[in-house]
Structure 1
Amino acid sequence: MTTAEVFSYLKPGSRLGAYRVREWKGGGAYGDVYRGVKDGKPVALKLSKHRQHSADPGKTDERLLRELVCLVHVDHPHIAKVQGWARTPQGRGYLVLEYVDGWTLAQWLQNARPTFQQVVRLFAKLAHALEHMHGRRVRHRDLSLSNVMVRKVDGEPVLIDLGAGEYSGAQELTDAPLPPGTNRYRSPEAARFFKENQNNPDARYPFPPEDDLYSLAVCLYDALTDAEPARGGWEARKAPRIDVNSPMWAPPSARTANPRVPEALSEWVEKWMARDFEKRRPSLASMREALEALGAQEGAEWLAPVQAPPDTGAVALEATGHPPAKSRRRVLAGAVAAVVLVVGAFALLREAPLREAPPVPGVPESSSDPRAQALQAHPSPPAPPASAVPSPSEVPPAVKESPSVPAPTNPSSNPPAAMPPTKSAPAVSRGFLKKCAEAGALAAALLGCPAQQVQPTQQKCSAAAYESMRRLGLDDGSQVGILVDAKQPFLRSPDECEAAGRMWSDDMGECLTLLGDGKLESETQDTLSRLPEGSRLYGRVWTEGATVVGRYTRARLPNGAEHEVCVSLSLNGGLDKLPGSKPGAALVRPRDGATFFGGPK
């Protein structure tokens, strides 16, 4: 497979089998998703993508086929359906999937401003979908606010992206202790397993179905407590995202974080997110029933929007959806000042379009509307406690579907208009812009104008490197933890990160590293490796592809001795790019790993 095949994107108008490609919708480490059309009907086309670093190209096919098998096993109205699969003339596989015209759950929560009742009923349906999936012995393993869509036409949720999914009896494809996923939504047991086994390449976490439900509980917690769920921790936020992964203590209750949350709902979320698995498991088993009971509540507190109405005195929106003229003048003035200060900063700001938001639905004035009536009526009876919800053994085989989640608009109005894209420019601190002015090379990287780089298509090692690593006791596949860029130290607080002119991720609790194409110097930080801690690895890095790829050719030990080596950046197919990245300026986590190639097998 050539580099062009690995990293090229299909252009609008091109054909993929019998389908015409309309637009690229998104992608990850293992595939890209396009909106396609055949006979006037839209479909989602998921095209497999081989990770540049992977030593086993055959796994690309196996992962796609495993996702296909997972989807064939399930049949549920709230899980995206597979319609077929095929191969390109070059041999790359692709899935033909149901196209969901809507928003991600994060976008829906942030822009539609739903009520507590709407949110709870939607999550009850997702819990039902997971219940069905687990009954078919399939696990999603990567549930997040980005992997749920909310359809525009009816407001119904749809689970998508089973690229990390697994079914019982499937061949093991994970080449790390944990399966692919988002750290925020991992269970405490998974986090503890990784901490204990991060240096054991053979360790594999036995992902239980309860972990999917825990992930759903974290999604619900974010839905109730985060006013900006569609903004990542690396973007400008009004308030930092609450840490839910602390090994020392549980996060504050949903009601503590957001006093608008009904007490009964807050108590259930707290049970579902308990740190102790044995205490959490019984409540997870009754999650769907509890959510359906909570969704039946009709009191004013349940029919109120989850988040308080925005402060219209801050930055009000005109009918066009843009800030008022006075605010626009301030934005333009800031942009002009940025031009004077640094050309690189201006280029970055110029590429960040103003984001238009859909109209925020208010409480209807019509007295016939149920939400308006609720505000005048007495509160409904309190939601049933945990003891009142039947256990799984008491629930009859026929599962009751809760009512449809209303679309996030006035029922008397037309269907909601399409939400605008929520693409945002990364948040950039003043220190970061100052650093751009002082470093011409970094400014050029931010402008997206790095020198032409040729990315390697495969690992090539010299005989001298093989011999050198043999003398060091480094076998093929040996791994070591590293500080990715030794020139960008690991910083432990947002204040230190800001002072250094770098970006802090509240989501990950880390000061992110910015990589450009060219030379790379990393430092080992793994005392269990045969390569001493504090050794330096020297090589090059490429950022134009789907992942950041690096190659090291020289190592310098703490005693000053230098050795020729053959090493790849990352333990799992290249560094994942974080949102806000672009060719020549990739945002990555500050610490990862490196893999040694000790010679032909």
Structure 2
Amino acid sequence: MPLHAENFQVNPESLGPGTEVGSWRVVERLGVGGFGAVYRVEDLARPGEFYALKLALRPGDARAEREVTLLMVKAVHPNVVRFHACGRWPHPRTGSLYFVMDWVDGWPLDTWAEEVNPTFRELAQAAGKLALAFHALHGAGVRHRDVKPVHLLIRRADREPVLIDFGIGDYVGAATITEQPVPPGTLHLRSPESLRFHRANHGRPGARYEYQPTDDLYALGVSLFRVLTGHYPFPPHLPPDMLYLAIEGQTPPAPADFNRRTPRALSDIIMRLLAKKPQARYATGAELHAALMSAVSFGNPAAWEASLFEWEDAAGTESPSGDDARQRIRRPEWPTSSSTPPAPRLVIAPSLPFARRLARGDVKASEQEPPPVAPPRQQRLRSRVPVVPVLFVVVVGLAALGAWLLEFGPVSSAKGSAPLSDVVPPPAPFREVAPKEALPEAVPVTAPPMVEAIAVAAARAATLTKEDAPVMKESKPHASALKKSGMKAMGVAGACLNLACSGPQVRPAPPPEDCPPGADEAMKELGIRLGDAQVFVFDVIKGEPHVITVREGNAIVRLGDEWKGLRGGGLLYGKLHLADRVYGRFTWLRVNKGRTYPVCIELLSGDRKHGLERKPGSDADSAIIWTTGRANPVDRFE
């Protein structure tokens, strides 16, 4: 028998099953917040169809009215919960406002991470879609202001992320509701700048914090940190004053520093989201999306296909859903110290002549160079002895080393003899890093993702950078030193120098490579046929086509709408390879509607030749090319 409001005292936060609210029947209560209660309801006109109904706890609540305006008009997006109907109950004029939305059967973002244990690729794709949703909302003047894992749902049916609960949301032009300096929210998800404003303006009448898109993106970064590590960057249980100080002044450990499975590029992106200054974060959701897609595209596929956590046996324990859990994630422990290995050091044999001079103190203090400072994000080879800056001493030492090797064989040390390859450590293995635009402090966040000279890609492991390679210039002291060492030693020293500072060479063409998973299906869905090459232009180009200078690394090109599935065109994300020609391989396509698809598209010149022609004036590290060409869909990069 249906329950009617006139038969009992209405309590909006505790409606029983069977209660009829307008044309909806309550099935169960989903949750209660500070301003409203949410119920799963059934449509009386269509039995079996279920929705979510939110009922304001108090009649005339301006928050509920603003939330209806947001969902019905302002915050319309495929990854935002969809609005269906609204009304007042129990009286159509004086009752509490209610509105009906999709019932999203899914997991909160952190619960999804711990129960499903998805791959890093799946997490990056979900985060990228949320980033585009925020980009669209912020562009419409909407601020969510309560971003946290429980409001970021992953729908069970299709694993799509859905943003819910705009209860304290706001939009440009909306009336002010509260009298507080900062809007309501969850303390451990507030941005550092909002806390600074609150501290500086507490008690000042009329002071209002202007919430920015970077506040929402900061809270998204906190949520993703929680997902990747099982911890919040700043413990919510701290006393408020300590939590204030931590958020404003402390930098948490990077996710990759204690969840070692995390790709470094993803860890860097999240740390940029948590930057203390809003100018150092991504300015828009579109920038965040581009950084995530680039990181996935250019990273080690095996690392991105790994699950977020390790599984461990949990037989006999109860899962959050109430079932007997056979497995559960192994939550990483909060790090107590850094375990980053130290930079490799160059060990120089103590028997070298100039090393003996240094050990005896024969070299004047004024001739000795102070210890070098390692630049950020690079590993430098360091010596156990001071380095003499005068270049001829380096040449003399190398020449003497060559002669000594010819006379006595392998380098000797206190631990016995070892080949030279054991004394000079091999280059550090390639570490996956975020694209330049994804790193904190790398570039101003207002800068476009590419400039006319495209950012240089990370150097290959076996290649020394120009900064690492010594600069050699012929001069009389060098020549005399070599002459004294003999022609035999000069030949060996020359070989050593060539190994250390060989000039940049034109790289070979990239090897064959498989397309990313799902590219074939996505291109079919978009109506992109193999071999159907269409015109592209580099995304930064304005005006008529001309020539530009590019470097090896990440690139973005813009497509027209020639392919039938691309109404309004789209952006291709990929990488340029410099060889005899400039080869482009693009693995992600973002259409103007905001969706992102894996693709497999290579660049052809205007006359449909493989790769783009290098124009006169190109060198080994850069190429001058025409700004347009053809984007050719393939089933494998050859």
Using the size of structure 2 for normalisation, the TM-score is 0.48
Whether the 8 Å CA contact 2:42–2:51 is kept in 1: the answer is yes
Partner Cα distance (1:280, 1:286) in 2 = 10
Matches within 5 A, 1:355-434: 355-356=322-323, 360=327, 382=432, 385-387=435-437, 390=449, 394=540, 398=570, 399-400=590-591, 401-403=595-597
Whether the 8 Å CA contact 1:34–1:44 is kept in 2: the answer is yes
Whether the 8 Å CA contact 2:222–2:274 is kept in 1: the answer is yes
Partner Cα distance (1:131, 1:218) in 2 = 18
- 1:303 aligns with 305
Range 195-204 or range 131-140, more displaced? 195-204
- 2:66 aligns with 66
Task: State the SS of the aligned residue for 1:180.
Answer: coil
Could you tell me how far 1:299 is from its partner in structure 2?
A: 2.0
- 1:15 aligns with 20
- 2:167 aligns with 163
- The 3 A distance-change label for structure 1 pair 172 and 4 is farther
Partner Cα distance (2:179, 2:125) in 1 = 37
Matches within 5 A, 1:113-262: 113-226=117-230, 245-262=246-263
The one-letter amino acid of 2:309's match is: Q
The one-letter amino acid of 2:209's match is: Y
Whether the 8 Å CA contact 1:113–1:361 is kept in 2: the answer is no
- The 3 A distance-change label for structure 1 pair 8 and 44 is closer
Q: Deviations over 1:40-64 (max 9, x none)?
A: 21110000013xxxxxx64x1x211
Could you tell me how far 1:198 is from its partner in structure 2?
A: 2.5
Task: State the SS of the aligned residue for 1:246.
Answer: helix
Could you tell me how far 1:161 is from its partner in structure 2?
A: 0.2
- 1:31 aligns with 36
Paired residues, what number? 338
- 1:422 aligns with none
Match of 1:47 among 48, 55, 73: 55
The one-letter amino acid of 2:154's match is: V
Partner Cα distance (2:284, 2:176) in 1 = 30
Partner Cα distance (1:112, 1:284) in 2 = 26
Could you tell me how far 1:206 is from its partner in structure 2?
A: 0.4
Whether the 8 Å CA contact 2:107–2:156 is kept in 1: the answer is yes
Partner Cα distance (2:249, 2:13) in 1 = 44
Partner Cα distance (2:176, 2:303) in 1 = 47
Matches within 5 A, 1:374-523: 382=432, 385-387=435-437, 390=449, 394=540, 398=570, 399-400=590-591, 401-403=595-597
- 1:290 aligns with 291
Partner Cα distance (1:267, 1:98) in 2 = 35
Whether the 8 Å CA contact 2:195–2:244 is kept in 1: the answer is no
Whether the 8 Å CA contact 1:148–1:160 is kept in 2: the answer is yes
- 2:465 aligns with none
- Highest CA radius of gyration, 1 or 2? 2
The one-letter amino acid of 2:435's match is: P
Question: Identity across aligned pairs (percent)?
Answer: 34
Q: Deviations over 1:156-175 (max 9, x none)?
A: 11000001111110011123
The one-letter amino acid of 2:65's match is: L
Partner Cα distance (2:133, 2:218) in 1 = 14
The one-letter amino acid of 1:140's match is: H
Range 265-274 or range 277-286, more displaced? 277-286
The one-letter amino acid of 1:22's match is: V
Could you tell me how far 1:7 is from its partner in structure 2?
A: 5.8
- 1:268 aligns with 269
Match of 1:317 among 293, 315, 318: 315
Partner Cα distance (1:391, 1:63) in 2 = 41
Partner Cα distance (2:226, 2:80) in 1 = 21
The one-letter amino acid of 1:29's match is: G
Could you tell me how far 1:98 is from its partner in structure 2?
A: 0.9
- 2:420 aligns with none
The one-letter amino acid of 1:309's match is: W
Task: State the SS of the aligned residue for 1:153.
Answer: coil
- 1:578 aligns with none
Task: State the SS of the aligned residue for 1:302.
Answer: helix
Q: Deviations over 1:187-217 (max 9, x none)?
A: 1101111112232353211001111111111
Could you tell me how far 1:6 is from its partner in structure 2?
A: 5.4
Task: State the SS of the aligned residue for 1:194.
Answer: helix
Q: Deviations over 1:265-295 (max 9, x none)?
A: 1122222211122222558661111112223
Partner Cα distance (1:205, 1:184) in 2 = 17
Could you tell me how far 1:74 is from its partner in structure 2?
A: 2.8
Could you tell me how far 1:243 is from its partner in structure 2?
A: 9.7
The one-letter amino acid of 1:356's match is: D
- The 3 A distance-change label for structure 1 pair 391 and 175 is farther
- The 3 A distance-change label for structure 1 pair 75 and 7 is closer
- The 3 A distance-change label for structure 1 pair 245 and 4 is farther
Partner Cα distance (2:19, 2:270) in 1 = 47
Unaligned runs of 5+ in 2: 330-428, 439-447, 452-538, 541-555, 559-568, 571-589, 599-638
Whether the 8 Å CA contact 1:124–1:291 is kept in 2: the answer is yes
Whether the 8 Å CA contact 1:149–1:158 is kept in 2: the answer is yes
RMSD: 3.6
Could you tell me how far 1:16 is from its partner in structure 2?
A: 0.6
Could you tell me how far 1:386 is from its partner in structure 2?
A: 2.1
Could you tell me how far 1:361 is from its partner in structure 2?
A: 9.1
The one-letter amino acid of 2:310's match is: A
- 1:277 aligns with 278
Q: Deviations over 1:114-144 (max 9, x none)?
A: 1211111110111011011112111111000
Whether the 8 Å CA contact 1:22–1:35 is kept in 2: the answer is yes
